[in-house]
Structure 1
Amino acid sequence: MSLPHLDLSRSPHDRQGLRRTDEEWLAARWAEEGSRVLVVAGTRIRPGATGPEWLPSRMAPEGTRVYLGDRDGTAYWAVIVAGEQAKEEPGAWVPLRGLLPYLVSAADGTAPLVFHAIGIAEWLWATRFCPRCGGGLVPRAAGHELRCTECGKPQFPRSDPAVIMLITHGEPFADDERCLLGRNPAWPAGRYSTLAGFCEPGETLEDAVRREVAEETGVLVGDVAYFGNQPWPLPASLMLGFHGVAVDDAITLEDEDVEDAVWLTREEMRAGAEAGSLVLPGGVSISRSLIEHWYGAPLPGSW
């Protein structure tokens, strides 16, 4: 079965990281007739009719140039301008979440480029001063490094590892095998998803899965197996998907981030999704892929 979350990572571009400090080479690539630029105002994008709008470099405004890389012989860039521009044109600029449905269905496969651009933009937006001395920062390496003007310490983009997991209980593929879903109290009625959380310092990813599930639902997890991953620059995460097997099925809710947690068989999941009483994550999410991979087929409805 096709896994929708992989669509956001297909056709990766050549980032050409070793070229980021070659100013003459970068200038030549920028000047190429076919070069394309995504303009980002703060962390927002102005969409075209069918998704992100890529401009010829000659039409790009002044701003921080970020070289994203090469794809099929075309040089792709982001130009990051002040976030005030988006405020001056309310409704014209949208956050990345507003573009996700377009990205997953985009025939040109530019989703990895957009995620790269937004990830750098989010980092530049959040990293204003040197964490060592408080000095000012200037961009280098085609937007992929910030260097302190006072102490000279470089800063680099970070991605926070986050685990997202489908937990099951019972004999695999049996009619009574169940999976565990939870809901946040801020979500609309009927919305449920897989559990997720961040990896802590000194912790393996598998232990992060076990800890987060125990903290959020009280369920103890034994075996944990890797499923896949998805970039998620909202604002700076790498979602690492896992399948875990519960040791028992007792649910104890103590975490305020989880209002409810339920065990569902495949039949219960199908019936709830068809009736609309169970609203599952959208197809663009790795959470949806985890659920449908376990279920064994596409399911109706989504956020």
Structure 2
Amino acid sequence: MTGTSPPSDVLLSGFAFAGDPLDRADHLRDDAAALAAMWPQARILVLDQEGQAYADADGSLQAPSGAELGGGPGAAIFLGLKQDVAWFAVAGDALAYTAPQRVGLRRAAAAWPAFESGAFALARALLHWQSRTRYCGICAGAIEFRRAGYLGHCSGCGADQYPRVDPAVIVAVSDGQRLLLGRQPGWPARRYSVVAGFVEPGETLEQTVAREVLEETRVRVRSSRYLAAQPWPFPGALMLGFTAQAEPDPPQVDGVELEDARWFSAEEIGAALRRDQHDDGQGILLSPAISIARSLIEHWYAGAVGSRGAESPAQTSP
């Protein structure tokens, strides 16, 4: 079969939560004295019960210092260091602290600097895990958090629990000429994206790619290749991005996982990418720029137009 494939030297980029990370400084998690000494100058991410961050009137991050909040680290989660400044996360319902507004993680990912949105994502994932890890799953004993919030220790049987991360594959599937996209029930009108699904016990990632694509679309994957990963704290997934080559099978859906799946040409994908700036009300809409799904689509399209010498979306008028 002749056709196109993504360039092997192109790395995925541009999606949220994967750039400018904190220094996790694991060696400080057991050093209560060092964390207490850092607290007055530290920056504190304050999140409400819905996982929204406190923001100023312009929607920018409002992260008070430890001195402004008073006290010490206590039950705050130590996120890490940024240029020797400690960052912590706390649940706002435990504080007498207010802010002009609250900002959700998706909005922050689109508007805030990479460091701030990444720190917010880490804080949200850890606080969500803590809020759902109150009792031991073995003996039902109460859980106490240690290591600056990263370890849940059972006061009954002594079992330890760690923050949960759920690995999932997300894959741009091509038959050599076209890209496979699907649509879930409940998505915004006309929205399509690449296939994704969680890894099951006993599977390799490549096996998950083949199984998920087959289960959701009845398309048979021949080979796959890992490209990049994105933390996706909604609430605690790690999206593992792949590209895959598949047979040109006609997609079939069950109406539950997906309500539609289709093969799309490079011309259709290019038009969809340009639709971000000029929505003509026709055709499909793609995943937002904060997601690795969008980067996978753009990566496939770059390979497709590159092999044909075609224009990129930025070079083509709407």
3-state secondary structure, aligned to 2:64: strand
Work out whether residues 161 and 199 of structure 1, in 8 Å CA contact, stay in contact via their aligned partners in 2: yes
2:53 to 18, 28, 45: 45
CA drift of 1:206 comes to 0.8
Determine if contact 1:47/1:93 at 8 Å carries over to the other structure: yes
Please give the per-residue CA displacement for 1:251-288, whole angstroms capped at 9, x wherever unaligned.
12125120001111111222345334211111111000
Cα pair 1:4 1:284 within 8 Å, conserved: no
Specify the code of the residue in structure 2 equivalent to 1:38. L
Deviates more, 1:67-76 or 1:2-11: 2-11
Gaps of 5+ in 2: 1-9, 303-311
Which deviates further from its counterpart, 243-252 or 232-241? 243-252
CA drift at 1:5: 3.9
Alpha carbons of structure 1 residues 169 and 102: separation in structure 2 relative to 1, 3 Å: same
SS at match of 2:140: coil
Structure 1 equivalent of residue 31 of structure 2: 22
Alignment partner, residue 95 of structure 1 = 104
- The 1-side partners of 2:314 and 2:172 are apart by 16
In the alignment, is residue 158 of structure 1 matched against residue 167 of structure 2?
Answer: no
What residue in structure 2 maps to residue 215 of structure 1?
215
Corresponding position: 1:147 with 2:158: no
Deviations 1:35-74 (A, max 9, x none): 1110112322222324332111112377731111111121
Q: Note if contact 1:164-1:197 (Cα within 8 Å) is conserved in structure 2.
A: yes
Moved >6 Å (runs of 4+): 83-86
Q: CA deviation at 1:78?
A: 0.9
User: Does structure 1 retain, via aligned residues, the 8 Å contact 2:80–2:87?
Assistant: yes
Residue pair 1:164, 1:241 contacting (<8 A) in 2 also: yes
Once the two structures are superposed, what CA deviation does each residue of 1:224-254 show, in whole Å capped at 9, x if it has no partner?
0001000111100111000010123221212
Alignment root-mean-square deviation, CA: 2.6
Q: How does 1:1-303 map to 2 (within 5 A)?
A: 3-6=12-15, 8-31=17-40, 33=41, 35-42=42-49, 43-48=51-56, 49-60=58-69, 64-82=75-93, 92-103=101-112, 106=113, 109-170=115-176, 177-254=177-254, 256-273=256-273, 274=275, 275-276=280-281, 277-296=283-302, 297-298=312-313
Deviation at 1:2, TM superposition (A): 8.0
Cα gap change, 1:7 to 1:237, in 2 (>3 Å): closer
Q: TM-score when scaled to structure 1?
A: 0.86
Give the match's secondary structure for 1:14: coil
Q: Secondary structure at the match of 1:9?
A: coil
Residues 270 and 299, structure 1, Cα contact 8 Å, conserved in 2: no
CA distance in 1, matches of 2:105, 2:199: 24
Determine the C-alpha separation between the residues in 2 that align with 1:261 and 1:200. 23
Structure-2 change in CA distance of 1:193 and 1:299 (3 Å): farther
Q: How far apart are the structure 1 equivalents of 2:96 and 2:38?
A: 27
How far off is 1:84 after superposition? 11
Deviations 1:182-215 (A, max 9, x none): 0012123211011101000010111101111101
Distance in 1 between residues matched to 2:94 and 2:295, nearest whole Å: 34
The answer on whether the counterparts of 1:182 and 1:192 sit within 8 Å (CA) in structure 2 is yes
Task: Kindly indicate whether the alpha-carbon contact (under 8 Å) linking 1:220 and 1:247 is maintained by their aligned counterparts in 2.
Answer: yes
How many residues get paired? 287
What residue ranges of structure 1 are gaps of 5+ in the alignment? 171-176
What secondary structure is seen at the aligned counterpart in 1 of 2:157? coil
Identity level (%)? 38
